Amino acid sequence: MSGQTYLTVAYLGMISALALWTWTVFSRSKSLEAKIDSLEKALAKNESE
């Protein structure tokens, strides 16, 4: 393999890692917020009954 190929493989791997990490942070945050929101609504409903 040429030096250029190694360079491309290395940066593609690192860019993918950074993209995956960023996506994970955003998707975890969104999913947790949605769960918290629905639980808070359920708790409020339970308390009002």
Partner 1 sequence: MLGLAGAGLTLGLGLMWAPSVSIDAFKAPEAQRIFYWHVPSAWAAMIAFGMLFVGSIIWFFKRSEWAWKLHVASSEASLAAGLMCVWSGCIWGAAEWGVPWDWTDVRLNTFAMLTLLSLYLVLGRRSQPDGVETRDTFAAFGMYGFILVPVTYVATRLWQIRHPGPVVATSEGSLNSDMGTVLLIGAISFTVLIIGYVMAGMRLTDLEMRLEDLQSRYEEGNR
List contacts with partner 1 (CB under 8 A). 1-4, 6-7, 9-11, 13-15, 17-18, 21-22, 25, 28-29, 32-33, 35-36, 39-40, 42-43, 46-47
CB of 27 to partner 1, least distance (A): 11
Helix (H) or strand (E) run with residue 33 in it: helix 3-48
CB of 21 to partner 1, least distance (A): 5
The CA distance from 31 to 36, in Å, is: 9
The CA distance from 24 to 18, in Å, is: 10
The CA distance from 7 to 13, in Å, is: 10
CB of 1 to partner 1, least distance (A): 7
